[in-house]
Amino acid sequence: MKHLVGIVGFRGYSGMELHRILERHPHIDPVLLEHRADVGEQSNLRRKAGPLRLPCTAEAAKEHGLAAVLLATPADVSIGLARAFLDVGVKVVDLSGAFRLQSPENYHRWYREEHMEPALLAEAAYGLPEFCRSRIPGARLVANPGCYPTAANLALKPLVAAGVIDRPAGIVCDAKSGVSGAGRKPSLKTSFCEVTENFSAYSILEHRHVPEVLMYSGIEEAEFSFTAQLLPLDRGILETIYFRSAKLESAAQLIDIYEAQYGEEPFVRLYEGGRVPDLRSVQHTNYCDIGVKFDGTTGRAVVVAAIDNLVKGAAGQAIQNLNLILKRPETEGLL
Amino acid sequence: MKHLVGIVGFRGYSGMELHRILERHPHIDPVLLEHRADVGEQSNLRRKAGPLRLPCTAEAAKEHGLAAVLLATPADVSIGLARAFLDVGVKVVDLSGAFRLQSPENYHRWYREEHMEPALLAEAAYGLPEFCRSRIPGARLVANPGCYPTAANLALKPLVAAGVIDRPAGIVCDAKSGVSGAGRKPSLKTSFCEVTENFSAYSILEHRHVPEVLMYSGIEEAEFSFTAQLLPLDRGILETIYFRSAKLESAAQLIDIYEAQYGEEPFVRLYEGGRVPDLRSVQHTNYCDIGVKFDGTTGRAVVVAAIDNLVKGAAGQAIQNLNLILKRPETEGLL
Amino acid sequence: MKHLVGIVGFRGYSGMELHRILERHPHIDPVLLEHRADVGEQSNLRRKAGPLRLPCTAEAAKEHGLAAVLLATPADVSIGLARAFLDVGVKVVDLSGAFRLQSPENYHRWYREEHMEPALLAEAAYGLPEFCRSRIPGARLVANPGCYPTAANLALKPLVAAGVIDRPAGIVCDAKSGVSGAGRKPSLKTSFCEVTENFSAYSILEHRHVPEVLMYSGIEEAEFSFTAQLLPLDRGILETIYFRSAKLESAAQLIDIYEAQYGEEPFVRLYEGGRVPDLRSVQHTNYCDIGVKFDGTTGRAVVVAAIDNLVKGAAGQAIQNLNLILKRPETEGLL
Amino acid sequence: MKHLVGIVGFRGYSGMELHRILERHPHIDPVLLEHRADVGEQSNLRRKAGPLRLPCTAEAAKEHGLAAVLLATPADVSIGLARAFLDVGVKVVDLSGAFRLQSPENYHRWYREEHMEPALLAEAAYGLPEFCRSRIPGARLVANPGCYPTAANLALKPLVAAGVIDRPAGIVCDAKSGVSGAGRKPSLKTSFCEVTENFSAYSILEHRHVPEVLMYSGIEEAEFSFTAQLLPLDRGILETIYFRSAKLESAAQLIDIYEAQYGEEPFVRLYEGGRVPDLRSVQHTNYCDIGVKFDGTTGRAVVVAAIDNLVKGAAGQAIQNLNLILKRPETEGLL
């Protein structure tokens, strides 16, 4: 028998992607939870049997025996919804930033609001399976990582742990994202004519995703320079990461460190020979691809990490976490 | 009376841009110099009076009294052509990398070929008017800067000179360019289906433009990490430059350094208040726009510089140099 | 001395284009008329001397001696503004559909509203200079044509007049437009992620621009099939027009008809030899380019007409009309 | 046990799509047949187990027991390869135009070459399963339809058969395709900078795909006007089809005709209520989506049909045919 799993925010890009993935999942059926009183969008197709739709309430979720709900909603909405679903015993994977930062102080600094559920914030498991796999299956509430931090942490954490980065010289993460990362709500900044043939930087040194990188990679804020930039394309994140290393002699040593960490990981792929991924390599997949370039003479290192912001950076990773919670194979529905 | 100025390589993107700018220039008329035995492309328009066309020979250039020629040709082609035109007394502005690197050793290292005209290489004036203005009017041969180095040097040189960069910590230049920078010759890498919705890095730490930045900004190679990246758009370069500074306290101090350098420059524009340019701001103009973000607490600095790779990064700057050579006002035809 | 001309709606794409063109106009200075109580957008640039700004009132227009105002506003806004400016003796060129359809009945059918100023509607001169040039200089109020009708009427009117189209077989106009034609107001339909890599048809057989084609070309509604379609690009309209002709024998005869009509026109260009324009040929210009393909054996004809929707389809043509009203050379500022 | 099926031309866009689909096919394993002596492209990924590779010879195909080969090669290459594979008893699905036109005269007129294997041309089954399903399972050689004719025939054939089109008034098919339809070989016409922000018509009234529409829909050439146009996007074909009908009264009647034809078809979807598909609806699927708009007063009809040119227009339909040949369920691997 299949699990029923609710999706809130199914009209946004992450929610649509959750729906798409779960439609092909062999052991989970999606249920669309109507949060806003939308005028029901009409289907263009003659006959279309859609998934079950329910009102977005804890009662409905309980009554229909939902195994979990996925929240693809803004942080302030997620906070309230998570409380309501957890209170009736329905597990939650939240795709917003609501539960990622562990402490109310941290949340307040970066999201400029008081956190209304500090106990849940403390309780939430961070859903980066490659590093937090053991805690997730037992969690009631999983905070799905941000898109930028997913790539940055997968690229940086093994190197920080191995102690090969000259941290006082600093680490630069120059990040570029497709427009779907900004969500589906219309705005001038994501209008076609403003984005096409354009490229722009935003939130330089101040992006909300910075603390997630710091907390989970162990880097200090003073060591880390992060810029987010908007690519004129739909989906994909590519991060070009720069640091120095006096300890390394070759790119192969860097790949070896990654290999030791990720050799058995189903969703991390490594590139050899100085080659690096482009966005095409990862679009519409749950992979994080990593390649490196290193100059042994001068110690300059460049790591390129790429993900699809809507898959490994959002919905795909959420399903990975969902599989863990529901004791399904972690890759189910994702390969 | 108008000057006649020849364009070689007028079918490439830089050559087309040279043609376009000179058509509107009040004191210069373009002459198209047929280098290859092309089957003459037919005009689609019923009646079109085009510019004068001549064979690409020194004799024709001399006979028709060309005041100068602009070479929008590959480096190896430019080397021979420059010699031929100079020998009959016609001045040359070369848009390739043939004459930028001063020494044959440098050229050989980065272009993997012997330089056939080392005397011309030594003689050539580097055509970055903002810093080399005094030498250009008297030069017979001007090496027009590369697109990436134009933005990088305009962004970095004043800061290096002011001594505000912590150079041992390194400088990162993460550069992104539109596809026209790769030239007009068809290749798989610049095919529409390979580029659209994609983003990729290339020549990491090894780009040919790196030595131009080092030579003219005074930075050491070991201090400088440079990555070139291909944006899915036609034109524009944006460089995100990272460094650290223990000497600075605010972004305003950085802007003041730039203002002191560029206050009177017609083609450098500065942004205030932590704002930075996007590509839209500079496309189809000869401007280099610069903005900065600085965190005084930690000394992290980010400079964003943007140009149009075909204008300030190629044809526009070449016309700027041409104006200087022909003793015309530097901005003529460019505003 | 320069004329002062006001622009209302200068933050929209047509208004921005009006501003851009007038900045380079040798005898007109733009004045920005603040219609909405916008929070003044900050300039990113350090020093920027902008044009004069005034409140959007008839009093201010009169007091500052504006020679005319250009309305780049929605139809319902234009109707009231036109009345106000005309009442104080300031001439008006309106870029909306408010005054194009001559009768209140026509307006009501296509715009689904009562027209509040039927007398002005009757009075307005239609601003397609190639056919209505004589009436425009004496007009107080010019209705600038719609983008689609500009290309369609320039392509069809000479052929209808020449009687070479088999009208009972029908005329098809398959029109494609860049996204800027939909205006700058954010909406899901013009969001980047919805448009990129997509193509869609809308308002099939029911587009508001249809009556303009019918009225000014002399075609009957039953004879004319029109589809508007959204291209994933910023600017440009290309219309592929199909009809049959038993009277013609060659494409050259079609071009001859156009040549007889447009031989002296500065903004219509004709293509020979079965060649047709693409969008690149007309972007950022005030030209309408026309080419034809004809099969003499079967009488099948295809005409391709292209314009830039923001220039000949909006702001450029409005300046053409403005020049006529102000007794300036019609091409001033537009070549 | 799985069937082995060879792919020739696996580096082109159609060949890559064949590979991608067969990798997920539950009962077929792809084999890459090396036709050109390519320098083997290196994989970027560390460990990648690829499919079996063989030289592209009849001997190898026979020896390894290939159940069939798919030819994603140019027409002139396909003709020779088809002969060679068929002679050793290996069935062939050819994606080129080599075997679609039934007679050597037809082939010569549209492809400007003598057909070297007229007997195979006469023998080939046309692979549009929705209309030719009965002949395909028994065929040795299937001519996979062209991309444009697939959409045009699915849209037109039921209406021609129903006799509802006023054929003397003519049928217009205004077709738009993504760039992948032009193949992967680099050319100026498909270079990024030439295509982005551009739109252009080509082969007006003379496209090679026209005879396929005429032959299989039953329309006369004099009745059919076809224009192909290049969209600035990767994949998808949308055709806007215009005709007149004195016999119809409503759009619903048109949909009923389609429903009667396609009610049980797995890969044709119909739209109701005057709605029409966009490209997004069909990209990366094997569906052909059809919607209609009809004006009962004047008899004007517009049909919009959309497919993915690489799936239903090439590789997907080829797998559909392959399934039929191999007696597999027609939809296997395609949903």
Q: Say if residue C159 is in the same domain as residue C290.
A: yes
Tell whether B334 is covered by a domain: no
Tell whether A332 is covered by a domain: no
Q: Say if residue A268 is in the same domain as residue A166.
A: yes
Model confidence pLDDT, tens digit, residues B183-226? 999 999 999 999 999 999 999 999 999 999 999 999 999 999 99
Model confidence pLDDT, tens digit, residues A264-303? 999 999 999 999 999 999 999 999 999 999 999 999 999 9
Instruction: Tell me the pLDDT band of A34, cut-offs 50, 70 and 90.
Output: very high
Mutate to test the interface with C, among D204, D214, D220 (most CBs of C within 10 A): D204
| Closest CB from D194, D238, D242 relative to C199 | D238
Span C263-267, average pLDDT: 98
Instruction: Tell me the pLDDT band of A39, cut-offs 50, 70 and 90.
Output: very low
Q: Across the interface, do B271 and C44 touch by the CB < 8 Å criterion?
A: yes
* B159 close to B294: Cβ distance less than 8 angstroms: no
Model confidence pLDDT, tens digit, residues C176-195? 999 999 999 999 999 999 99
* C30 close to C51: Cβ distance less than 8 angstroms: yes
* C165 close to C245: Cβ distance less than 8 angstroms: yes
Q: Alpha-carbon distance D271 to A129, whole Å?
A: 42
Q: Alpha-carbon distance B43 to B61, whole Å?
A: 25
- Give B274 to chain C, closest Cα distance, Å: 9
Degrees, nearest 5: CA angle B107-B110-B113: 60
Q: Say if residue A67 is in the same domain as residue A186.
A: no
Judge whether D173 counts as a catalytic residue: no
The predicted structure's pLDDT at residue A48: 57
Tell whether A9 is covered by a domain: yes
Tell whether A335 is covered by a domain: no
| Closest CB from A42, A46, A271 relative to D45 | A271
Q: Say if residue A83 is in the same domain as residue A181.
A: no
Q: Say if residue B223 is in the same domain as residue B273.
A: yes
Q: Which residue of C has its CA nearest to D291?
A: C201
CB proximity A186 to C under 8 Å: yes
Mutate to test the interface with C, among A41, A191, A231, A309 (most CBs of C within 10 A): A191
* D256 close to D268: Cβ distance less than 8 angstroms: no
Span B78-100, average pLDDT: 98
Question: What CATH number is attached to the domain comprising B196?
Answer: 3.30.360.10
pLDDT at B6 over 60: yes
Q: Alpha-carbon distance C61 to C65, whole Å?
A: 6
| Of the listed ranges A25-39, C169-183, C252-266, D283-297, the one predicted with least confidence | A25-39
pLDDT at A42 over 70: no
Q: Say if residue A319 is in the same domain as residue A300.
A: no
Mutate to test the interface with C, among B23, B43, B44 (most CBs of C within 10 A): B44
Span D307-332, average pLDDT: 98
Span D200-224, average pLDDT: 97
Q: Alpha-carbon distance D309 to D318, whole Å?
A: 12
Span C200-216, average pLDDT: 97
User: First CA to last CA across chain B, in angstroms?
Assistant: 21
| Closest CB from C44, C269, C275 relative to B275 | C44
* Chain C residues in contact with B45 (beta carbon < 8 A): 269-271, 289
* Chain D residues in contact with B195 (beta carbon < 8 A): 192
The predicted structure's pLDDT at residue D37: 52
Query: Which three-class secondary structure state does DSSP give residue B177?
Result: strand
CB proximity A34 to C under 8 Å: no
Mean pLDDT of chain B: 95
CB proximity A137 to C under 8 Å: no
Query: Which three-class secondary structure state does DSSP give residue B127?
Result: coil
Give the domain range for residue B286: 148-309
Tell whether C220 is covered by a domain: yes
Q: Which residue of C has its CA nearest to B275?
A: C44
* Chain D residues in contact with B193 (beta carbon < 8 A): 13, 178-180, 184, 190, 234-235
Span C207-215, average pLDDT: 97
Degrees, nearest 5: CA angle D114-D120-D122: 85
Tell whether A202 is covered by a domain: yes
pLDDT at A43 over 80: no
Q: Across the interface, do C242 and D242 touch by the CB < 8 Å criterion?
A: yes
Total domain count, chain B: 2
Mean pLDDT of chain A: 95
Model confidence pLDDT, tens digit, residues A233-272? 999 999 999 999 999 999 999 999 999 999 999 999 999 9
Mean pLDDT of chain C: 95
Q: Across the interface, do D227 and C200 touch by the CB < 8 Å criterion?
A: no
Q: Say if residue A33 is in the same domain as residue A175.
A: no
**A137 CB-contact burial (10 Å; exposed 0-12 / middle 13-18 / buried 19+):** middle
Written as one string, the DSSP assignment of D266-316 is TTEEEB-TT----GGGTTTS--EEEEEEEETTTTEEEEEEEE-TTIIIIIH
pLDDT at C45 over 90: no
pLDDT at C225 over 70: yes
Span B104-124, average pLDDT: 96
Interface contacts C/D by beta carbons within 8 Å = 138
CB proximity B292 to C under 8 Å: no
Q: Across the interface, do C278 and D199 touch by the CB < 8 Å criterion?
A: yes
pLDDT at B63 over 80: yes
Q: Say if residue B134 is in the same domain as residue B162.
A: no
Question: What CATH number is attached to the domain comprising D46?
Answer: 3.40.50.720
pLDDT at B42 over 60: no
Model confidence pLDDT, tens digit, residues C68-127? 999 999 999 999 999 999 999 999 999 999 999 999 999 999 999 999 999 999 999 999
The predicted structure's pLDDT at residue C47: 46
Model confidence pLDDT, tens digit, residues A69-128? 999 999 999 999 999 999 999 999 999 999 999 999 999 999 999 999 999 999 999 999
Q: What ipTM did this prediction achieve?
A: 0.95
Three-state helix/strand/coil letters over chain C: CCEEEEEECCCCHHHHHHHHHHHCCCCEEEEEEECCCCCCCCCCECCCCCCEEEECCHHHHHHCCCCEEEECCCHHHHHHHHHHHHHCCCEEEECCCCCCCCCHHHHHHHHCCCCCCHHHHHHCEECCHHHHCCCCCCCCEEECCCHHHHHHHHHHHHHHHHCCCCHHHCEEEEEEECHHHHCCCCCHHHEHHHHCCCCEEECCCCCCCHHHHHHHHCCCHHHEEEEEEECCCCCCEEEEEEEECCCCCCHHHHHHHHHHHHCCCCCEEEECCCCCCCHHHCCCCCCEEEEEEEECCCCEEEEEEEECCCHHHHHHHHHHHHHHHCCCCCCCCCC
Tell whether A101 is covered by a domain: yes
Q: Say if residue D170 is in the same domain as residue D241.
A: yes
Q: pLDDT > 90: what percent of chain B?
A: 95
Q: Across the interface, do C222 and D300 touch by the CB < 8 Å criterion?
A: yes
Going by their DSSP bridges, the two strands C91-94 and C141-143 should be labelled as parallel
The predicted structure's pLDDT at residue A287: 98
Instruction: Tell me the pLDDT band of B39, cut-offs 50, 70 and 90.
Output: very low
* Chain D residues in contact with A45 (beta carbon < 8 A): 269-272, 289
Q: Alpha-carbon distance C69 to C4, whole Å?
A: 9
Token digits of residue A245: 């290393």
Q: Alpha-carbon distance D302 to C205, whole Å?
A: 8
Q: Say if residue B154 is in the same domain as residue B273.
A: yes
Find all residues with CB under 8 Å of D79, minimum gap 6, and list them: D98, D99, D115, D116, D117, D120
CB proximity B272 to C under 8 Å: yes
- Give D214 to chain C, closest Cα distance, Å: 15
Span B138-156, average pLDDT: 98
CB proximity C276 to D under 8 Å: yes
The predicted structure's pLDDT at residue D35: 81
Instruction: Tell me the pLDDT band of A41, cut-offs 50, 70 and 90.
Output: low
The predicted structure's pLDDT at residue B37: 52
Q: Say if residue A152 is in the same domain as residue A137.
A: no
Tell whether C332 is covered by a domain: no
Query: Which three-class secondary structure state does DSSP give residue B118?
Result: helix
Measured in whole angstroms, the distance separating CA B111 from the mean position of its chain's CA atoms is: 17
* Chain B residues in contact with C196 (beta carbon < 8 A): 197
Q: Which of residues 188-217 of A touch C (CB under 8 A)?
A: 188, 190-197
Degrees, nearest 5: CA angle D61-D62-D68: 60
pLDDT at D265 over 50: yes
Token digits of residue B267: 């083609």
Model confidence pLDDT, tens digit, residues B164-188? 999 999 999 999 999 999 999 999 9
The predicted structure's pLDDT at residue C23: 95
The predicted structure's pLDDT at residue A46: 47
Q: Across the interface, do D46 and A272 touch by the CB < 8 Å criterion?
A: yes
pLDDT at C49 over 80: no
Span D313-332, average pLDDT: 98
Model confidence pLDDT, tens digit, residues B26-35? 999 999 999 8
pLDDT at C39 over 90: no
Model confidence pLDDT, tens digit, residues C281-304? 999 999 999 999 999 999 999 999
Span A154-171, average pLDDT: 97
The predicted structure's pLDDT at residue C48: 57
Q: pLDDT > 70: what percent of chain A?
A: 96
pLDDT at A40 over 80: no
Q: Say if residue A114 is in the same domain as residue A60.
A: yes
